[in-house]
Structure formats: structure tokens, C-alpha cells
Structure 1
């Protein structure tokens, strides 16, 4: 998504000014503390709310020579900056650029990709030994601080635990946090008038989950201030004035609205432009009307409910399905105007609980699996067939079951940066929560508009059979995952508000529950013959494995409506039954179980 941040016309503006300072400070501390580049990248990656590239991998990605030019520009243009010595000092960046190693663009930088392959067939990657300025095999990371936070899902908990840990990993987090805290405190009003603008710029520009001032709130502003002063850093005087006045945080929540500390007035104000936006974290203390261990229902105001998934990666299991059914039932029975399904986390949903399905399949609990799939299908169908309008607001990863829920909303309001698709084929299964059925419905509707039958069938079948994932909301429209009437919200933070607006529009227009479809045109035997021959040709050419072919034929069977003669019309329930039968049969295949197990262990698909 996109976001506008007001800044001053100063060297490197906000994100590069602060981001490069933070990067250089980490590089400086790494050698002081004796950390390897692998340890550093783990500490400065997702575990502390930063991108998975960490620090050194980020340098390789953007170009070490590019980072050096920004560093040199800061040194030349900021002679009076308190970090001038850090910008001007010779460092490992200069040393590695002198060797002509610029990162990804030269295939070697802090890491080097070799032509050799490991046992899994992947390229062997070497890591830089900063003391010898030469490459060595990558080393496993075994820091006590990382082990201590391994089971902590909440970023706030991880940050506090890392900051408090006594090993060198904790020392890196402490020292870098203190230096960053002091530096950003002195950048107001030089590079920005308000502290929230610095946080916005680092989140939008460097993909940090939390900006510097937000991180300080998590660690504790008073503690961080005392530690930073004790470490010899110069913190801006306004921070002490804020603390002396009894204000212990840079942000606070009041009445479901987030306020920031305004330095000139020494008071808290609403962040401009956010007055009508919806952030569920700000409503958590006052507006939750129902919850279980995996989901929460919110009052979003104006008679609209909101449903948030709260499982790991927002995977869809029994608790989430209970949440969906409860929200719709309460809305229908209590006179709510509609429901928004969405959240403010990193992802909408990574899909159904694959581990649960694998466990049941290994134990051959076929009746329980059949019940679970029926329950999932019925719950997804209820998103569309209820007495209230339901808007689904996907963003980030929206895979498998998350995609199926999105496709069944009365309206979908997707973030521009939405990675959405039906990926079940990648683990040897078919979409069975209504996804294959819905693609068939949309294929049928395109036929009615005069589309060429085989081309329309082939393109939609390949979207499922190749587990295509759209990398944006607009691409999702081109793949028919989102409809032409669905909305793409460019600003991620506006998505839930836009979804609520659409729910109210549908309500005001006199929303009525749509009729279940019984007029879906399928191609039957004619379509199967053409599609099967195409699938076999791909197998004969070596493009797909035998099991890939088997799974693809299952998808074709569903989308063609089985081996019916002529071009009959079928119901949604007929197609859902075909989905469920195909899903269960594939769960009985050893190769599918191996794919599922491999994906759960490695996060990557297995071709077998």
C-alpha cells in the first residue's frame, strides 16, 4: 500500500536519515560485540519487528555501494549532526565496496551465492567473516536471547524480553535502541514537526513493524530514557519535560482513538487524518462484544460489527469458524446492519489449519474429516448467504481458506498489497472450502457473456492447478479472484473503514440475502476430454509430475461438473460435494501426505 508522510526538506529526508543511522549503528556494534552476520540478521529481522532481510542481507539487497553513497551523502551534508563521525568513519561498508562486492547485483556482498548445491538441490550460500574479510560456511545461530523469545508470538513481548536479556544479542538490542532513541529525539523539528511522522516514515519506507517512538513505548519510555542517558547519549530536553509532566508514553489510546504527544503544546492530540480510520487494537479495551481463543467480534460503530482472527498466521480452525458463525448469527438476531471481516495484523489469513488436517488424515479419521470439510464449506457459504451484508477486507497473505472467504463476501475491499490465491494444489489437495466451486460459478457467468468456452475454462483451471498467487489487489482482479465490483484500497490503513462504508451502502440499498445458485453451466464430458488431454500433454513433456497430473485432473473434474453429458446446469451444492469428495480422496494419497508434511516442516512445496 501507499502512505503520505509530511517531512522537511533535509538531507535524506526521514526514512533514509534515520534508517541509515540505525543500520550503521548496528554495523558498528556488531564488531564491538563480536557478533556474526548471521546472528545479527536474526536479531534485526522479524524477531525484533524488522524485515526478514535483517541488516546485512538488506545491504546486499539494496546494494552495498548504494548504502555507501547514502552514508557519504549524509557525512558531506550534515557536518553538525551528532552522528557525523558515524557517517564519516571508515567501516566494513567501504572495505567491501573496495573489493567490488556490491551485494546481489554482483552475486556477492556480505553473503555469496555459489554454484554448488546442497543435498536439497539449493545453491550453497556462504557468509562473510568480518574479521578476516573472507567467506566461510554459514553458521547456525544459537543465542540465548533468541532462544528465550522463540515461543513468544507477540512482538511487544519479544522486544521487552530481548532488551532485558544479558547475552550479546540482548546487548545489541539495548545499545542500538538507546542510540536510536537519542537520535530520533533530536530530529524534531529538524526533519519532521511531529514524532508520529518519523514512525510513519520508518514503517512505510523501511518496512519496520514499529517506528522508533512506538518501540520506545513498548520498552518503556522512562526506562529507556534513564538507560540512554546513563550510556552517555544526549537525549532531547523535550523528552525529560514530557516525563517530568507525568506523561510516560509517546502514544496513548482514548475512546478508541490513538493520540500522540504534541511537543509544542505538551499535550496529546489525535493523529491528523486518522479520526475516522478503524484500528482494532484501539477498540480492544472497550468495543469487544464477544471472543473466543481464536477470534474477536467488535462493535465498529454505526451498527456494524467487525470480526478479527487471532490465531497464529490467522490460520482458520474451529475457533475462527465459530467466530464467523457467531458474528453472523448475532448480527441477524440483534439487528446489526452488517459485518466486516478483517484485521490490522501483518496478514489476513494463511489459510486452513494444515497440521490439523494432516493429523486426522494420518489417523484415518475419515468421518471427522468429512464433518470438518462440510463445516468449513457451510461457514464460508454463510458469509454470502445470510440476512446481512458481509464485507471481507483482505491484505498481506490471503491464502487457501482465507482466499475462499474473500471470494464469498458480498463485497471485498482488498489492500493494494494483497498476496491472494488458492494454493491447496501445492500440498497435493484441491480448494474445498468453496474456492473451486466459486471459480466454476465465475466461469459459468463468463460463458453467459459470450466468452470462448475452452479458453475461459483453461485459464481458471490453471489459476487453481498452478496455485497462482496474485501479488496485488489489481492482479487478483485479472485472475478473477476478485470481482470487477470489488474494491482495491491503496492505503492499507483505510481498508477497514472502506469496508465498513460498503457494508452501510449495501444496507441502505435494502440488502436481501441472495438466492443460492442452481443455474451453473458446466462443460461435463466435453470439457473433461479437452482438459485431460492438455494435462496429460504437460505430464508427457515433463512439466508436471504424475501426482501433479492426478491433482489437476481432480480440479478439472470439479470444474467440469464430473462426466455429465452435454452442457448441463448444476447447483452450488453439487459442486461443493465434488470438492469434498476430491479433497478426501487426495488425503488418502501417500504423496499428498508427504507434501503436507514437507510444507509444514519447511514452509516450501514438495514436488513428488
Structure 2
């Protein structure tokens, strides 16, 4: 059945409700956001002489909540102008409007009586067949739909988003006992395809999948931390990026989410899961109870496991001593076991090393993984029949790079059992049976697809839904046709090649440039099209800055000039090759990676792309065709009666301020992407498959190599504008003398030099100006100081 979602109603405008409303607005859906009418006037309303009948008062709660959400950072919305897609109202005056929506989502307080009263109102006004769902994180679905009509029950489910809605990908779908299968299938599809989520089908069990396993992991740590004598800093060091978890790790994450939220979910599991073998672990340790009594909830109360204080004008982070419950200066955590993993780039390859550690870290990992393996094995089939859903939930909801069963696989199932036995944790019968039937892993790769061990059938089954994706981890081994130390080229089928960056942080050094040129060579002779795409956390942080710095320090200027020229030529090949070139940026796409994006035939960007020309931060201008391209785009974008220099000035400011788009949609406004040519994909997992599809369409439509274009530059007219502006900034102390010098160099390039009148010039003319300006800045001591500071600290230096 076709079910277009043109308009949704979100009832409840708190952090979650407003976040859900913003995310539907992100994907182009109209949203009606509703909340309750205030019971009394506030001080401002009394001063203005308003009454409880005034519309501005009646909609105050919803409007204030939405405004607070839109102002929060990180932003819940891709572009602030998308907020116009959200209209607001209240449950007394505007509930009847839900008759015109396709989906009603309830996001009110976690009280069954309140939810049931909301559903009674919804039932009164909804059009039969309209979807209704609850964002509850734990109330049994059968209780919420009691007393409702058959049609309501047939279209009712839990759709559990994780906060922040825009950034966390988990979307748990729990069908009601009478929910139609077609409704469940639709919600699973919609979450993945339209909302960009990882849709996970869950059972109606307390805390569902993500929170049941995730909260167990945190509570297990709370009990282990004292047993092993670990500090909060040490736990966060051990449970952060080294094992593929977010930088906020454990205790910082609890501070951000709020200790009260964690306690609420943990208490719910403790009360509602009396038969859970880890039941006692969900009982709060004494130090957590004390923190709750003291209102040390984390960021929302300005102190939790960490506390920021200002001393002598300096910000200092204090840590909570879990023994004394007093704050003390943070201490840097260091472990010999972690040092052993520094040369292991792939997180999945570190686990075997970590559990062998002879220090406290090794003991921690052995105990921690044993507890996690023991817990997840027993949740099959209680919370899910399929083990891969547990891994999907932890990766999408808690930001883990690898789920618990994937980690167990990487260590080895027998080794994992050894760890459990050392902690007196029984092994589940199904795990023993799996090994007895000859299945030695939970997952397997076959013919480019991922399979999982299915407990009922006792054999490997293909994970459904993979046909929409191209997952490089699954195809890399079978499809790679060329590689070097920094990149590889895969043939994705149908004549489409993919160049995958594999350098550290995906920096764009000589090996990556060689791979791009090789990919284009192959596509022009033996294949048909080239994609630049990878599935690392970030697309690329830009050119290899350390290499350029070393050349400059050693005054190897001829070699540096050749390297810059090679980069420029490679970028220009993306535009002027005889095959379609498509780039698939996501995450950090900085500097040279942004320059590449601006030159490919088409950009297929993930919505979460943070892109910009950031070279000013290290004292240089974009030297890989970026300065040239911004001048060209300003010229291309002019309409007949435009003020000629306005767009050029705006693009100049974007580069000079090192402006970074905080989403792919913002990148259009900043000039990095082109409307009607470049596209945005909300689900990053679909990105390379979408890029391949567009490459094939371009070929079918008769792709022709573009002809070189001239660029209109304004010479002295534009240069004068730039010089006056930079002089004013320096005199107003908004820019240092060196800032001014860099900006003037950029201005010279974007103006096309000091030509006496507007002139049509070649792109190569501007590339030569750009390279000359870049090289001159690389001889400046202050630029080298900025680069060195960035390489050492990761932060820009103002000098």
C-alpha cells in the first residue's frame, strides 16, 4: 500500500518532541507541533496585560520549547530556514488539525495516564488509517492502546528515537499487539530510507534493545569502577575512541545525557525485569544515590562526574573522586596496554590485544567484555530473535563502532567463553550448540553480503535489507582491482569504480592523489565512471599538512611547488576527464577534500557533512584550486542585474573566515555545493549506492567531457574592495597583521590580479596566481608557526 507522509503531528514539544519535529522538517515534511496550554501567566505576560485566553499565552509552552531547541548546539536542524516547515499550536485549540496529517507521534511525559488521555483526544480527531506512534522508552505498548478502536490499534506502534534526534541513528520500532504487518514494514522502511536511521525491530520488553543493553553496560561499569580502583578519567580513557566509542566515553556521556535520565531507565529495568540474571547490577550504587541527592546530574546542573570551574580567569575541569565524592583536578590517564594499540589503525583489530594486557587496563577489558558477552547472549530471544539487531542498536544508539557480537567475533568465540568462565558467567546453550554445529563465528561474509548466525535454524542467514547499500567492508576483498598504501580502487559493477581513501584521517597525500589519477585513467580506458567514496567516520581532513610543513621547513620549495601543482592538476582532472566523476563526502570534509568536492561532476553528500575551506586557520589560502573555484562560482552565479561584486565579496568572506557548513544543506548557501546539480542523501549507508546509480544515469544520458570555461574577473575594481575591507579589519583589531596579509593574497587571486578592467581569463591563469600566493605564504615564519601549532595541538593559532 502506498503511504506518502506529507504532514506529521508531534504532540509534546520538550527536547525530544522538538527534536523529532525538527528532523521531519529536515527531510521536507510539514510538521504540526502541539503542547498543553499554560495554567498560569508568567511575569512578562502579566506586565503586558495578557490573559490566559491570549493566543500568544496559549501557545507559549510550545513556542518557547521549539525556540530553545532551534537555538541549541549542536543544532537539531540542517538549516535554520527549514524551521518554517513547523507550525505550532496547543492541544485545546488545535488538536482537530490532526485530521489532516498522515502520522501522529506522541512525545509527552512518561506517565501512562497522561499518554492514554492524549490518545483519547487523538482518537476523536484522527482520520481512520492515520499512523499513530509513541516515543515511549519503556511503557508497555499494550497498556497505551487499551480502550482504543480496532483501527487505532491496527495503526499503532512505538517509534523510539534517540536524543539528539538528528545525530543518533537508532530508530526502534515496536509494533502493538494488533498492529498490521504492513504498518510495521512501512515504519521500518521509512525510518531507514527517509529519516536516515538504522531501523531496529524490537519486542515489547522493558527499555527495548538499545537502552536494555546500553544501560547494562554503564551500570556494569559503575559497579566495576570501585572493584578495580579506577578513576572516572581512567574509565573514560578505556571506554572512548580506543575501542571505537565516542570521545565522551562513559562518564562524560552520562553528564551530557543527564544522570537522572540514566537512573530513570535503570530503575525501570530493575523494577520490570525481576528475572534478569543481572538484576542486581541495575540497583544503583551508593555513590550514584548520593549524586542524585546532591542534584549532581551533569551538564544540566553544571556538575556531575565532571565540573568546570574558573580560576584566575582560566577554565579548569575537575573530576569527581568516587571514594570521597569530592572534586579534584583532572588527571591524565595512561596505560601500557593502550600504548600497544597505537600502531593498530582498525579498531576491530585492537580487541585481541587489549584483553592480553598485563596491567589494570587488561584486567578491566577482560572483566568488561566477559560481562557484556554474558549479558547479550541471554537477551536472545528475550528482546530480539536476531543477534544482529543488538549490534545495530548499540552502534546506532550509543555510537559504538562495533556491536558486542562483532567484538566477540573479533576476539574469537572460544576466547570470549574463556573470559566468561574466568568470571563464573555461564555460557548460553545456543552459543555452545552453535560451535557444535561447526559455526565458529556470529557473522560471515559471502559474495559481498553479510550473514548472521540464526539461532532457530542453527545456520548463517543473510541479513535483510542489504540490497539498498554498498558496504565497502563487505566488498573490499573481492572487488579491489588496484591499491597502494593510501588508497584502493574497487569495481562496484556496471563499469563504476570507487576510489577509497585509507590514509590516516583520510589525508590527501601523494598516494591518495595517485589513486585518484589511476581511477580516472582506468575509467577513461577500461571502465566507465569514478566515485570518490569511503565509509570512514570522516571523508577527509584535507591535504597532508605535515608533509607540506616539512618541505617548507627544509626549504624544498621546488618540490613543494610541484606537489601543489600535482594536487591542482588532480582536482582539475575530476572536472575535465572524459568519464563521469562523482564524490560522496560525509563528516569532516575540509580543505583539499572540499576543493575536490567542488570540482567533481556531481556531489552526492551525506546530510551530516561538515565542509569548508579551512586553510586560513593555518595561515595559508586554499591552494588546490579552491581559491580559483570560489572566484569562478561567484562569476557563474551572477544574474544580469546583480550588483557585480556582492557575490564575490560573500565568497571571499566564506574563505577568509574559514566558514564551515554544519550540514550538507548549509553547504549550498556557502557556495560549496551547487543547487540543481549536487544532491543530499539523508542515510549515509545509502550514499555510495546512490552515487553509483547517478553515475549510471549520467552515462545513459550520454555523458560528454566538459569544455574548459573562462572566468570573468574584476581586477583592480575587486582588489580595491578587498584591500579596504582587510585594512578596516586590522585597524579595528579584528584581524592581525598576518591575517591581513593572508586575506590580501586571497583577494589578489579572487580578483584575478591587478588587471585594469574586467577580463575573461582561463582557469589555469587563476590556478597559477593561487599557487604563487600559496607558495609565498609558505615562506612566512608566522604561517609556519600556525601550521606547527595546529599539528601539535589541533587548534588554530592567532599570531
Worse-superposed segment, 100-109 or 382-391? 100-109
Pick from 566, 582, 599 the counterpart of residue 391 of structure 1. 582
- Confirm whether residue 470 of structure 1 aligns to residue 661 of structure 2: yes
Task: Tell me if structure 1 keeps the 8 A contact 2:348–2:402.
Answer: no
1:415 corresponding residue in structure 2: 606
How far did residue 122 of structure 1 move? Answer: 5.3
Q: Measure, in 1, the Cα distance between the counterparts of 2:427 and 2:691.
A: 42
Runs of 4+ more than 3 Å apart:
448-452
Secondary structure, counterpart of 1:307 in structure 2: strand
Q: Measure, in 2, the Cα distance between the counterparts of 1:449 and 1:173.
A: 66
Q: Measure, in 2, the Cα distance between the counterparts of 1:269 and 1:275.
A: 15
Pick from 746, 750, 761 the counterpart of residue 570 of structure 1. 761
How far did residue 340 of structure 1 move? Answer: 1.0
Q: Measure, in 2, the Cα distance between the counterparts of 1:29 and 1:330.
A: 55
Q: Measure, in 1, the Cα distance between the counterparts of 2:286 and 2:436.
A: 39
How far did residue 209 of structure 1 move? Answer: 0.5
Worse-superposed segment, 296-305 or 536-545? 536-545
Q: Measure, in 2, the Cα distance between the counterparts of 1:388 and 1:141.
A: 51
2:704 corresponding residue in structure 1: 512
- Confirm whether residue 241 of structure 1 aligns to residue 433 of structure 2: yes
2:785 corresponding residue in structure 1: 594
How far did residue 474 of structure 1 move? Answer: 1.2
1:83-105 CA deviation, whole Å, 9 max, x = no partner?
Answer: 22111233432222222212112
Pick from 245, 259, 269 the counterpart of residue 74 of structure 1. 269
- Change in Cα spacing, 1:450 to 1:258, as seen in structure 2 (3 Å) is farther
Q: Measure, in 2, the Cα distance between the counterparts of 1:169 and 1:452.
A: 63
Q: Measure, in 1, the Cα distance between the counterparts of 2:653 and 2:381.
A: 54
- Change in Cα spacing, 1:122 to 1:521, as seen in structure 2 (3 Å) is farther
How far did residue 76 of structure 1 move? Answer: 2.1
Task: Tell me if structure 2 keeps the 8 A contact 1:183–1:235.
Answer: no
Q: Measure, in 1, the Cα distance between the counterparts of 2:672 and 2:426.
A: 53
How far did residue 559 of structure 1 move? Answer: 1.3
Task: Tell me if structure 1 keeps the 8 A contact 2:367–2:419.
Answer: no
- Confirm whether residue 530 of structure 1 aligns to residue 721 of structure 2: yes
1:96 corresponding residue in structure 2: 291
Task: Tell me if structure 1 keeps the 8 A contact 2:222–2:285.
Answer: no
Pick from 316, 325, 331 the counterpart of residue 523 of structure 2. 331
Secondary structure, counterpart of 1:100 in structure 2: coil
Q: Measure, in 2, the Cα distance between the counterparts of 1:478 and 1:245.
A: 58
Gaps of 5+ in 1: none
Secondary structure, counterpart of 2:722 in structure 1: helix
Pick from 323, 337, 342 the counterpart of residue 150 of structure 1. 342
Structure number with higher relative contact order (C-alpha < 8 Å, ≥ 6 residues apart): 1
Q: Measure, in 2, the Cα distance between the counterparts of 1:122 and 1:496.
A: 46
Pick from 509, 517, 521 the counterpart of residue 712 of structure 2. 521
Pick from 367, 391, 404 the counterpart of residue 558 of structure 2. 367
- Confirm whether residue 444 of structure 1 aligns to residue 635 of structure 2: yes
How far did residue 267 of structure 1 move? Answer: 1.6
Secondary structure, counterpart of 1:5 in structure 2: strand
Task: Tell me if structure 2 keeps the 8 A contact 1:163–1:173.
Answer: yes
Gaps of 5+ in 2: 1-195
How far did residue 43 of structure 1 move? Answer: 0.6
Worse-superposed segment, 460-469 or 374-383? 460-469
2:418 corresponding residue in structure 1: 226
Task: Tell me if structure 2 keeps the 8 A contact 1:26–1:172.
Answer: no
- Confirm whether residue 126 of structure 1 aligns to residue 318 of structure 2: yes
- Confirm whether residue 299 of structure 1 aligns to residue 494 of structure 2: no
Matches for 1:30-429 after TM superposition, within 5 Å: 30-116=225-311, 123-334=315-526, 336-429=527-620
How far did residue 449 of structure 1 move? Answer: 5.8
Larger radius of gyration: 2
How far did residue 222 of structure 1 move? Answer: 2.0
Task: Tell me if structure 1 keeps the 8 A contact 2:206–2:272.
Answer: yes
Pick from 19, 22, 26 the counterpart of residue 217 of structure 2. 22
Task: Tell me if structure 2 keeps the 8 A contact 1:2–1:492.
Answer: no
How far did residue 538 of structure 1 move? Answer: 2.1
Task: Tell me if structure 1 keeps the 8 A contact 2:634–2:648.
Answer: yes
How far did residue 605 of structure 1 move? Answer: 0.8
Q: Measure, in 1, the Cα distance between the counterparts of 2:274 and 2:644.
A: 68
Task: Tell me if structure 2 keeps the 8 A contact 1:415–1:489.
Answer: yes
Q: Measure, in 2, the Cα distance between the counterparts of 1:284 and 1:498.
A: 18
How far did residue 541 of structure 1 move? Answer: 2.0
- Change in Cα spacing, 1:452 to 1:68, as seen in structure 2 (3 Å) is farther
Task: Tell me if structure 2 keeps the 8 A contact 1:7–1:193.
Answer: no
1:311-366 CA deviation, whole Å, 9 max, x = no partner?
Answer: 100101111111011111111121x1201111111111111110110001111111
Secondary structure, counterpart of 1:284 in structure 2: helix
Secondary structure, counterpart of 1:351 in structure 2: coil
Secondary structure, counterpart of 2:450 in structure 1: strand
Pick from 488, 494, 506 the counterpart of residue 686 of structure 2. 494
Secondary structure, counterpart of 2:497 in structure 1: strand
Normalised to the residue count of structure 2, the TM-score between the two structures is 0.74
Task: Tell me if structure 1 keeps the 8 A contact 2:661–2:667.
Answer: yes
How many pairs were matched up?
Answer: 603
Task: Tell me if structure 1 keeps the 8 A contact 2:223–2:285.
Answer: no
Q: Measure, in 2, the Cα distance between the counterparts of 1:373 and 1:332.
A: 24
How far did residue 539 of structure 1 move? Answer: 2.1
